[in-house]
Amino acid sequence: MRQSRLFTKARREAPADEVAKNAQLLVRAGYIHKEMAGVYSYLPLGLRTLNNIVQVIREEMDAIGGQELILTALQDKELWSRTDRWDDEKVDNWFKTSFKSGGETGLAITHEEPLTRIMTAHISSYRDLPVYAYQFQNKFRNELRAKSGIMRGKEFLMKDLYSFSRDEAEHGAFYDRAREAYAKVFARVGIGNRTYVTFASGGIFSDFSEEFQTVSEAGEDTIYVHEQKRVAVNKEVLSDEALGKLGLSRGDLVEKKAIEAGNIFHLGTRFSEALGLLFTDEKGERKPVVMGSYGIGPTRLMGIIVEVLADNKGLVWPEAAAPFKYHLVSLGHGGDEISKIADALYDDMQKAGVEVLYDDRDLRAGEKFAESDLLGLPKRIIVGKEAAASGMFEVVDRASGAVEKVSHANLLSSLQPPASSL
């Protein structure tokens, strides 16, 4: 992509109505556009980043047997009434509206109910189990607090996976695999070393649910971390009794602020019993399906990455999330020799299938470098006077600032995938 043709514009100043670091930087860099409090549109750079995060999550969900589908956003009032989650006194963050033909509907806040109902048409025997189904879909929650940028939105993208198992043992085995898959997701997007499995309230047939909390001063939660065991306890469940069950000592825990990056829940048979999701086991007995729920918000995760990794110059994307791995910056002007060298390198990178953002604009070097820092792509390739004189390009690592000088041939060679050993 030539930057002269890219639909986005960087801004010098942060928007006055944003207080969250993630929103300030993403708006300034032209990744997102604020529509209203808690509601954001994703511009080309933002969408590429979001899609990359989605793909990381998809790959890890597929690796543990997940099957992707997509459910409706409009929800059936009668269905949610059967689980006692339609009444605003019970769940207060619905967006509800009425059909012109009569009757109410709501915009989905989560999807346990509709997917369980779907499964009643597909699960009748133990031979039909287990099933692990997930989706990426916009959720809608009428949040009162919408000051955390894309980390807490009224409309946001969510990956929600639901497991359907024969018994607690089968459920538990998958639950453990899901925990490991989540850890891989957070490691791949660059925040694994800051993210802890955190015991919290909310379990159905377990004492605890598990959150994945990323340590950050921007966090709304307080957690108590055991560094050696890589686990933590949410403040809401911190007690001598809870610590005893978990085998932890208060003296070994360190208090930290954190952002919830994901969660996994034991649902037991709450929804299967309420909605009639039963199966016939090997003995011919009818039993309710055991369920679990596993959530990660890709939009929220994108905001967390910004909060944790950005520096005083701008965004810093890990390669797995970055909209482009390389930012090719030409310091040439008006079709001079430097511009021709940069054009040739860009063409070769395109032929090699490398996704690169090429700053071909006629601007001062200082302006280009400042904007490159703001955009936060992992590697900056500078084509300047040295490239014209000696054929060497400067390659700058955005995260570390390390500079490497590489020839055209060696640079192209490093971009090629390794040869197959088969």
How sure is the predictor about 204, in pLDDT bands with cuts at 50, 70 and 90? low
pLDDT of the residue at 12: 85
Same domain flag for 290 and 351: no
Same domain, 133 and 158: yes
Average pLDDT, the chain: 94
Tell me the pLDDT band of 8, cut-offs 50, 70 and 90.
confident
Q: Tens of pLDDT along 370-412?
A: 999 999 999 999 999 998 899 899 999 999 999 999 998 888 8
Q: Could you tell me if 295 and 330 lie in one domain?
A: no
Q: Which two tokens stand for residue 304?
A: 């967390």
Domain-located, residue 92: no
State the average pLDDT over residues 344-348.
95
C-beta neighbour count of 57 within 10 angstroms: 25
* Three-point CA angle 88, 90, 95, nearest 5°: 35
Do the Cβ atoms of 140 and 108 come closer than 8 Å?
A: yes
Question: Which of 14-23, 325-334, 360-369 has the least mean pLDDT?
Answer: 14-23
What average pLDDT does the segment 233-246 reach? 94
Query: Over the stretch 143-160, which tens digit does the pLDDT of each residue have?
Result: 887 789 999 999 999 999
**β pairing state of 104-107 and 95-98:** antiparallel
Residue 162 lies in a domain: yes
Distance CA 318, CA 324 (A): 10
Question: How many CB atoms are located within 10 Å of the residue 3 CB?
Answer: 20
Q: What's the CA gap between 419 and 422, in Å, rounded?
A: 9
For residue 380, the enclosing domain spans 326-415
Reported as a single tens digit per residue, the pLDDT across 48-85 is: 999 999 999 999 999 999 999 999 999 999 999 999 99
* Domain-embedded: residue 82: no
> Do 304 and 250 have their domain in common?
yes
Radius of gyration of the chain (CA): 25
Domain boundary among 309, 339, 373: 309
pLDDT at 142 over 90: yes
Q: Considering the domain boundaries, does residue 300 fall inside one?
A: yes
Based on the domain organization, do 216 and 358 belong to the same domain?
no
pLDDT score of 420: 43
Give bridge partners of residue 291 from the DSSP assignment: 164, 268
Check residue 82 and give its pLDDT.
95
In this structure, is residue 102 part of a structural domain?
no
Strand partners, 294: 161, 264
Residue 348 and residue 259: Cα distance in Å, rounded? 42
**Greatest Cα pair distance in the chain:** 81
Quick one: pLDDT at residue 205? 52
Q: How far is CA 334 from CA 286, 337, 356, 361, 370, in A?
A: 77, 9, 21, 9, 21
**CATH number of residue 24's parent domain:** 3.30.930.10
Angle at which helices 337-351 and 408-415 cross, to 10° = 20
173: enclosing H helix or E strand: helix 168-188
Residues 45 and 112 occupy one common structural domain: yes
Q: Are residues 260 and 334 in the same domain?
A: no
**Which residue is it, tokens 């993403």?**
26
The total number of structural domains in the chain stands at: 2
pLDDT of the residue at 417: 56
Q: Domain holding 397: CATH number?
A: 3.40.50.800
Q: Per the domain annotation, does 420 fall within a domain? A: no
Domain closes at, from 309, 343, 360: 309
3-state helix, strand, coil in the chain (%, to 5): 35, 30, 35
Residue with tokens 């509800």: 96
Residues 254 and 357 in one domain: no
| 254 and 391 assigned to the same domain | no
Looking at the domain assignment, is residue 86 inside a domain? Answer: no
* Same domain membership, residue 292 and residue 403: no
Q: Which residues of 262-287 are buried (b: 16+ CB within 10 A; e: fewer)?
A: bbbbbbbbbbbebbebbbeeeeeeee
Please check the confidence at residue 421 and state whether its pLDDT lies above 60.
Answer: no
Of the three residues 279, 309, 339, the one that is the final residue of a domain is 309
* Residues of the chain above pLDDT 90, percent: 89
Report pTM.
0.95
Pick from 259, 272, 59: nearest CA to 159: 59
Give the pLDDT of residue 399: 97
pLDDT of residue 422: 42
Q: What pLDDT was estimated at residue 174?
A: 98
My answer on whether 263 and 342 are in the same domain is no
Q: Are residues 179 and 226 in the same domain?
A: yes
Q: Are 220 and 149 in contact (CB under 8 A)?
A: no
Query: Which range, of 4-18, 199-213, 226-240, averages the lowest pLDDT?
Result: 199-213
Integer CA distances (angstroms), 14 to 17, 20, 114, 303, in order: 9, 10, 41, 16
Q: With contact defined as beta carbons under 8 Å apart, do 310 and 376 qualify?
A: yes
Please determine, for residue 419, whether its predicted confidence score (pLDDT) is greater than 70.
Answer: no
Domain assignment of residue 90, yes or no: no
Token reading at 111? 């999807």
Predicted local confidence at residue 310, as pLDDT = 98
